[in-house]
Amino acid sequence: MKSTAHHDERIANMTFASVYPHYVTKVEKKDRTVDELHEVITWLTSFTSEEIQSLIDEKVTFRTFFERANLNPNAHLITGVICGYRVEEITNKLTQQTRYLDKLIDELAKGRKMEKILRVPKP
């Protein structure tokens, strides 16, 4: 699947608040918790739970969300396919960051162990 400028712009302008409830539903349906969801978001972005709530309340776009984020230096270790795209091959930085988040949440919902989701290196 090839990303387009229109697709990238649509993602950039989507609000985090509009997607967040879907993240919650997805993980809770699979017996994971909002705390675990926040742990994953925090790992990727460095946002605290309070900051996540503030971003939701502000109705920030994904563009603003990732502009304010301090992306984890190990985010490049997130690989695989999400929404028909191989995340490591996405050329638009913001779209890739958004798909990183989608991929982590997907792994959480699929029951993957937290240390694997958070790319904890093996000793």
pLDDT, one tens digit per residue, over 71-119 is 999 999 999 998 888 999 999 999 999 999 999 999 999 999 999 999 9
Residue 1 has pLDDT above 80, yes or no: no
One-letter identity of residue 16: F
Residue 47 tokens read as 């946002």
Residue 46: name the closest of 63, 71, 18, 15 by CA.
Answer: 71
Residue 6's pLDDT is what?
82
Return the sign of the alpha-carbon dihedral for residues 25, 29, 35, 36. negative
Yes or no: say if 103 and 26 are a contact pair by the CB < 8 Å rule: no
Taking the C-alpha atoms of residue 8 and residue 24, their distance in angstroms, rounded to an integer, is 24
**What average pLDDT does the segment 35-62 reach?**
98
pTM exceeding the 0.85 threshold for the entire prediction: yes
Residue 88's pLDDT is what?
93
Query: Mind listing the domains of the chain with CATH numbers?
Result: 5-111 (1.10.8.290)
Q: How many CB atoms lie within 10 A of CB 49?
A: 14
